[in-house]
Structure formats: C-alpha cells, structure tokens
Amino acid sequence: MMEVLDNIPVNLEPERVLRRLRLREPSEYIARTVRELAELARSVAKPKAVYRVCYLENRAGDSLDIGGVRFTSRLLRFYLDNIERVFPYIVTCGRELDEIAIPSDDFTRRYYLDAIKEMAMRSALGYLEDYLKAKYALGQLSRISPGSLESWPLTQQRELFGVLGDVRALVGVELNESCLMIPLKSVSGILFPTQVEFEGCRLCPREDCRERRAPYDPELAKKHREGID
C-alpha cells in the first residue's frame, strides 16, 4: 500500500519562527524580516509525505528485500532482523517553499528561509509518524536513513526511491547525481516498530550536525561496530 499525505498542517507563526532561530534580542529590522518571510512561507507552504507499507523478504548475509527491491547494508540488516513490516518514506518541505526567490547574495534572508523550510519538513515528519501510529496501531517507531551512517550509504537512496516509485510526481522530490534530494529540505528513510528506540545520532561522531537528535555515545558505537562486524 502506498499513500501520499499532502494536507499536512504546519505552524509557521512568525513568533514561533523567531524562537526557532534562537536570536538574542533581534533588532527591529531582523524581527520584521523574519516575520515577513514567515508570513510569505505560511501562505504557500505545503509540505508532503509519501510512504509505503512493505514486508521484509529474502534475508541473507548483509542483504534483504524491501518492497521487492534489494538492499545491502549491515546496519539495515542488523536493526531489521526481527522486523516483518516497515514503512519506507520520503518527507519534504515542498517545492512551494523551495521556489521562494531570495537573491543569492542575501545570505541573511536565505538563512532564515532555510530554517523555515526545515521547520516545515520536521513538522511533516512528526505528522507522518503520528499518522502511522494511529492508523496501524503502532507503539514506538524508530527510523533510519540512507547516508546517516557509513554502514548504510547514501547511494542507496536510489533503491529507496525505487521502492516508492515516481517520487517526483508523487511529492515533487527528485535525486541529483550525488544522491542528494531536491528540495534539499527533504528527508527519506525507513520507519519501523520497535520496543527499544533506535537513534542513529548516538552512533555518529560528527559534532557540527544541525540535525543531531541525541548525543554521540562512543561506547554504544563501539558495541555496535563489534556487533555487526
């Protein structure tokens, strides 16, 4: 089963955007600029999500089939070993936000708009997770994304897109030659039910990541490497 969610509510109230930017005592000009961008974004924002219900098949070595597509990843094989049903997904801020024109040399406005796009995308991801929990009577969900860790490379975005079909037509997202998504404020991966939450950030040592959701745990990372080697 495949489903597109394109009526996702998102809160882009100017004051919330200002709080998200964590600006210390912003000047009147900055506050006005952010409010103008937030109002513009709110008028056009249409974040979207697509997911598919898939069952795992043909587990062998470091490989497994999801939705009839072969994936090869020690990480994926390890964490999905006892899982039967998963939900491959793509979530995006939407091309409507991505097409707001900002001059290339206006770095401040571009930074603020980038934060707004991320807010829309993160809100849509949370909406998708809540939607799946309610619709399929799920408890805790974990997620894993290609490229988030070395043992599931970014190049397997191609396989993930293959599971979901014509993603460009469905939600306006496409892959470039480097396997990055356009719009850039898009996220892909696999959601799966689990008793113990998996958080890939705990295994990643990169310190300057804006997307970090949990602190790096070197001991857990070591156990993880030893466990799947």
Which amino acid, 122?
Answer: R
Query: pLDDT confidence of 226, banded at 50, 70, 90?
Result: very low
Instruction: Determine how many CB atoms are found less than 10 A away from the CB of residue 44.
Output: 12
Residues in contact with 86: Cβ distance below 8 Å, sequence separation at least 6, in sequence order: 54, 55, 56, 66, 80, 190, 191, 192
Residues 94, 118 contacting (CB under 8 angstroms): no
Mean pLDDT of the chain: 87
Q: How far apart are CA 213 and CA 122, in angstroms?
A: 12
> What does the pLDDT look like over 107-162, one tens digit per residue?
999 999 999 999 999 999 999 999 999 999 998 999 999 987 778 899 999 999 99
In this prediction, residue 164 carries a pLDDT of 97
pTM here is 0.83
**CATH code for the structural domain at 2-196:** 3.40.109.40
Q: How far apart are CA 84 and CA 54, in angstroms?
A: 8
Which of 150, 139, 141 minimizes the C-alpha distance to 51? 141
